[in-house]
Structure 1
Amino acid sequence: MRTGIATVCLSGTLREKMQACAAAGFDGIEIFEQDLVTSALTPEEIRAMAADLGLGLDLYQPFRDFDSVPGDLLAANLRRADAKFRLMSRLGMDTVLVCSNVATASIDDDGLRAEQLAALAALAQDHGVRVAYEALAWGKYVNDYEHAHRLVTAVDHPSLGTCLDSFHILSRDWDTAPIESFAPEKIFFVQVADAPRLSMDVLSWSRHYRVFPGEGQFELAKFLGHVVRAGYTGPVSLEVFNDVFRQSDVDRTAVDAMRSLIWLEEQGAQWLDAQPAAAPADAARAGAFPARRRYPMELATLPQVAEPAGFNFAEVAAAETAGLETLLGQLGFAFNGRHRTKDVQLWTMGQARVIINEVPAPGSGAPAAPAISALGFDVDSPVVAAARAQQLKAPSVPRKSQADEEIFQGFAAPDSTEIFLCQGSPDGTAVWTREFGEGLDHPANAGAGAPGAVIDHVNLAQPWQHFDEAVLFYTSALALEAQPYAEVASPTGLVRSQVMATGDRGVRLVLNLAPLVQRDGGAPEDATAGPECTGRRRTYQEHIAFAVDDLVATARAAKARGLEFLQIPDNYYEDLDARFALDPAFLATLRELNLLYDRDADGEFLHFYTATVGSVFFEMVERRGTYDGYGAPNAPVRHAVQYDHLHQLATT
């Protein structure tokens, strides 16, 4: 599949965009007219630069409001087209995108439209240019891709074809199956974009909220499958209007964009394999495409991997570890020693493993606050899973190992969290733990508890400009499924929360997008950031949750070890009683231990949180029945209590 991207998707100058697209591995680009008009490069220099970078110049766009106009405007439009066609000749480009008219001063007459498009096609032919006619979803009279195709068919000119844009088609819920009946030589160009399902006017939706494939909710695999079955062989190009992408680092966004097309290509191939093609009306064409591998456009696939079986470990990096060690010991974790060759500690409770990575202090000499730095996942084949991630543009993060030490396959997530792939074992043990053992006289070993504990979920806070990228990354690289997202109220605004999980919930990863807030008239800062935000990267409040069989017993034991619980307001427990009519003795226990509670039709959920150390805190949970949530009604309480606690610390 030939890949492309419109320059409008990216930030920066045209030169910077072209360089980023080439580095990310795109085959070609669409030049958005504004990028050319504002560039200091001449058309000839752009052409030469594209050749040097190995980039095709696939489409010039957009040419607007040409068709359905009164006669006096047609001459002006043809004159404008002639100038653009001459410009395209200097660029070495042969295809232009012409959008259906959106102006109110236009005429609803298909005969007139066909006549005017024929005139444009004839002019284009004189310049060696092809016209790809596109139905805008908000077009005044032509807003349906089948309508646009009927006009192209009626004109029947070799220089006029159609452009199929997934956003304009899927935002209007048009059926994509008719694409298969289109003559492939009349499909001049294909553009793809994903989007979340929103209730708003389609123009605003298009201009601000498109995302890359895999980051929204459109059925793009089905769309691409129909395009392939039609016999199309040209570029599949991204056209994404998104306010965040156009403010983000151009190189990083280009890599995210390329990852999305790699993912889409695989999804399209899988859709073709799973969906048998309908019998074509043309018997001659029926024999041409008996199976996916015989389609003119080949769709590549990636190494196939199963979803992770569970968390193997979570790693917290810190220069000052005393507070972290104390907190883990109070929760009931046992110290399993230091690594024999690295400045690393291992703490365990049941099958829940936490690694403390003792990182050097930053250059200022100030201690680095604890922050979640890595996650380990149990997978069937770490080597195959790592190969898939690398093909999806995930940067490799090798682990330095000596003889007789476990070799982990690793790569970096968009928020810089390191992901390590571990060989899972049926009994839940980890071979690499044998590398620890020094210093086992730690006092925490005296009171370890909760033998059935496991890592239940991990919450990672995402920088606002990379949230959509993270969703695609974990979907494509780790085979996690995105669940419906929620918005949680906090003292600093709404926090968007996106759960990524395996089908059996062996892995639950929660991505939080927190708002930016402004303090004391200063510059905006991340609302998730605590008062001690230093370290190898900008850190955020994040947490690791551990599931136990008996939370009340775990809480009592932790209290006996000196754990200071976050103080939950009495108002919460009064509301809890009003909502659930709990047994008075049980409610008193919840209040005594500062435990939170939720219930739904599937079961019950008990949990409590620790105070924050640096940017990390811990949660202990107990799931009863088949409860599958995270205590969402309690999230605003947790945010408010933590907000007060952190700001009390900041003022003392």
Structure 2
Amino acid sequence: MRTSIATVSLSGSLTEKLTAAARAGFDGVEIFENDLLAAPLTPEEVRARCADLGLSIDLYQPMRDMEAVPADVFARNLRRARAKFALMNRLGTDTVLVCSSVSPLAVDDDALAAEQLARLADLAQDFGIRVAYEALAWGRHVSTYDHAWHIVQSAGHPALGTCLDSFHILSRGSDPKGIEDIPGEKIFFLQLADAPPLAMDVLQWSRHHRCFPGQGGFDVAGLVRHVLHTGYSGPLSLEVFNDVFRQAEAGPTAVDAHRSLLVLKETVGLTTPPAPVVPTGVAFAELVTADAEPVSAVLAALGFARTARHRGKPVDLWEQGEARVLVNTAGAVRRDGTRLAAIGLESPDPAAAARRAEAFLAPVLPRRRAPEDAPLDAVAAPDGTELFFCATDRPARPDWRADFADTGHTPRETGVRRIDHLALTQPWHHYDEATLFHRGVLGLHGQESVDVADPYGLLRSRAVTNADGSVRIALTVGAAPSDDTVHAQHVALATDDVVAAARRFTEAGGRLLPIPANYYDDLAARYEFAEGELETYRALGILYDEDAYGVFRHCYTHTVGRVFFELVQRDGGHRGYGAVNAPVRLAAQHTAR
């Protein structure tokens, strides 16, 4: 099934939007009227440009406030429509979108609406054009898809059909099952958009907060299944109004958009791409730094030892238990500080995982390696983090650790067992894309998004995880572009006894993040602790949380560059990440900074 995107979904000039859509792999576009009006190109030049790019023009939109109006107003509407139909002939497109009226002049008269839409379709037919009538969720008298279809049915004109829009249908809570009562040939167009669940005016919700399918809370896939049952054979087209997308670079946004349709098509059974290969663990976290000494000191205090060094690159392997951290000093710029640049993911089938990633438009990263180096497949996440698919401790596959020469050093026991989770700060315009990427490409499950108060703004965070929690990645974004560099990334290390681990860390010279005394006064009011327990937490800066499954205790090291470490203890299957404590941690980090 062909894919299309409305030019309103992308930023830039019309030419830039068309180029981005073509490069991302779309088959066609909807030309939004404002984009054409502002373009220096003639309609013929736009048509030629689309043809050169391999794009069809699937829809021209929107035509507004056409139906159920007084006779003199409708006469003016027909005059305007005639000019637009002639324009569409010049563009080379044969379908126009007509939105249900929001005009105060429109009357609540379905018979008049059907009559005037039939006359509009008569005129359109003279130009070889079809009219797709759509119910706006905030339409003055027609606001549901079944009402719009009733009017189209009553008009009974071959050049008049309906346009279905997932946002307008699902935002109102309409049951999409009724779509199956519409003949497929009378569904002239299908527009798709998702949205997060918000309690706000539907018009503002629509104009500012739509997102691509799979990035919000709507069952867009369920709606598409109903549409497919009708026999609809037109394109799957994205129409997404979003303030962030309008400011972000068009190219990456178009790729994100196309990826969302690839995931959707797989979900509804239209395609069978390579199956997801869900990672089974974290092989390593790689830190890039221009100065290895500060981060090495923190790792040493945590009980890690520099157990190996890469045979051909300035990369050290630090280990304790199953937790592995690579410290890479190749190519780092001192002003960037230390940052989390790559993650090694344990994979049952690294080659298949890479094929899946490539099929869903993840850029495969070229890798400079010596002939004897392990052949690791790597792709880039939307934020630029490199993801390596690894097979550690499996004799049948190359082990990445064979690239490292043993140093003979042994880790000091401090109770660190493995990497519990990783937190990645996302560029402000890639948050939704990152969630879809980790779900669609890696097969991870996205948890609910949470908002966290920061002393200077607001953070949004969403964790993605595999079924058993052996892979957990928290994706975080600030409220403004400047937040990309303000907020740090971190590596959380699992331990069976966070108190003992914290004490060993401080005894080895490590510095834990001081937590204000007021926090512990509040803990005393909310929970009951054993004698001396709260005093221990206060002395070490350990934070505490509970959920329905268990208890979470955690503390933080000081920040090195853009990275800090967290020691965590999960008891009883606790599933969270200490979000309730995040405002206190963020304030403490700002104070320390």
SS for the counterpart of 2:485 is coil
Q: Which residue of 288, 291, 294 maps to 1:323?
A: 294
The corresponding residue for 1:513 is: 477
Displacement of 1:173: 1.1
Q: Is the 8 A contact 1:312 1:430 kept in 2?
A: no
Displacement of 1:424: 5.4
Displacement of 1:470: 0.8
Displacement of 1:612: 0.5
Q: Is the 8 A contact 1:95 1:129 kept in 2?
A: yes
Q: 1:455 & 1:111 partners in 2: Cα distance?
A: 66
- 2:456 paired with 1:485: no
Structure 1 window deviating more from structure 2 (149-158 vs 611-620): it is 149-158
Normalising by structure 2, we get a TM-score of 0.97
Q: Which runs of 5+ in 2 are unaligned?
A: none
Displacement of 1:360: 2.6
Q: 1:234 & 1:636 partners in 2: Cα distance?
A: 48
Q: Any idea what the Cα deviations from partners look like across 1:81-115, whole Å, max 9, x if unmatched?
A: 00100101111111000011111221111111111
The corresponding residue for 2:319 is: 348
Matched positions, count:
592
Structure 1 window deviating more from structure 2 (239-248 vs 496-505): it is 496-505
Q: Any idea what the Cα deviations from partners look like across 1:25-73, whole Å, max 9, x if unmatched?
A: 1100000000011110001111111111110011000000000101111
The corresponding residue for 2:517 is: 570
Q: Which runs of 5+ in 1 are unaligned?
A: 270-298, 517-524, 531-539, 647-652
The corresponding residue for 1:272 is: none
The corresponding residue for 1:418 is: 386
1:224-303 to 2 correspondences below 5 Å: 224-269=224-269, 299-303=270-274
Question: Which amino acid is 2:289 matched to?
Answer: A
Instruction: Assess, with a 3 A threshold, how the Cα gap between structure 1 residues 367 and 157 changes in structure 2: closer, same or farther.
Output: closer
1:43-54 to 2 correspondences below 5 Å: 43-54=43-54
The corresponding residue for 1:629 is: 576
Displacement of 1:214: 1.1
SS for the counterpart of 2:532 is helix
Q: 1:640 & 1:101 partners in 2: Cα distance?
A: 50
The corresponding residue for 1:585 is: 532
Question: Which amino acid is 2:296 matched to?
Answer: E
The corresponding residue for 1:529 is: 485
- 2:579 paired with 1:615: no
Displacement of 1:438: 4.8
- 2:351 paired with 1:383: yes
Displacement of 1:434: 3.2
Instruction: Assess, with a 3 A threshold, how the Cα gap between structure 1 residues 601 and 122 changes in structure 2: closer, same or farther.
Output: closer
The corresponding residue for 1:535 is: none
Q: Is the 8 A contact 2:309 2:405 kept in 1?
A: yes
1:199-210 to 2 correspondences below 5 Å: 199-210=199-210
Q: 1:149 & 1:423 partners in 2: Cα distance?
A: 55
Q: Is the 8 A contact 1:161 1:188 kept in 2?
A: yes
Q: Is the 8 A contact 1:309 1:424 kept in 2?
A: no
Q: 1:613 & 1:397 partners in 2: Cα distance?
A: 27
The corresponding residue for 1:408 is: 376
Q: Any idea what the Cα deviations from partners look like across 1:112-149, whole Å, max 9, x if unmatched?
A: 11110110011011111100010111111111111111
The corresponding residue for 2:305 is: 334
Q: Is the 8 A contact 1:340 1:438 kept in 2?
A: no
Q: Is the 8 A contact 2:320 2:411 kept in 1?
A: no
Q: Is the 8 A contact 1:492 1:527 kept in 2?
A: no
The corresponding residue for 2:405 is: 437
Question: Which amino acid is 2:162 matched to?
Answer: T
The corresponding residue for 1:212 is: 212
Q: 1:636 & 1:307 partners in 2: Cα distance?
A: 32
SS for the counterpart of 2:174 is coil
Identity %: 51
Question: Which amino acid is 2:389 matched to?
Answer: L
Question: Which amino acid is 1:386 matched to?
Answer: A
Question: Which amino acid is 1:565 matched to?
Answer: L
The corresponding residue for 1:304 is: 275
Instruction: Assess, with a 3 A threshold, how the Cα gap between structure 1 residues 435 and 613 changes in structure 2: closer, same or farther.
Output: same
SS for the counterpart of 1:511 is strand
Q: Is the 8 A contact 2:547 2:576 kept in 1?
A: no
Q: 2:123 & 2:280 partners in 1: Cα distance?
A: 61
SS for the counterpart of 1:414 is coil
Q: Which residue of 550, 567, 589 maps to 1:642?
A: 589
The corresponding residue for 1:392 is: 360
Structure 1 window deviating more from structure 2 (347-356 vs 389-398): it is 389-398
- 2:418 paired with 1:447: no
Q: 1:632 & 1:217 partners in 2: Cα distance?
A: 21
Displacement of 1:601: 3.4
Normalising by structure 1, we get a TM-score of 0.88
Displacement of 1:637: 1.2
- 2:474 paired with 1:545: no
Q: 1:600 & 1:247 partners in 2: Cα distance?
A: 38
Q: Is the 8 A contact 1:196 1:216 kept in 2?
A: yes
Q: Is the 8 A contact 1:380 1:424 kept in 2?
A: no
SS for the counterpart of 1:387 is helix
The corresponding residue for 1:157 is: 157
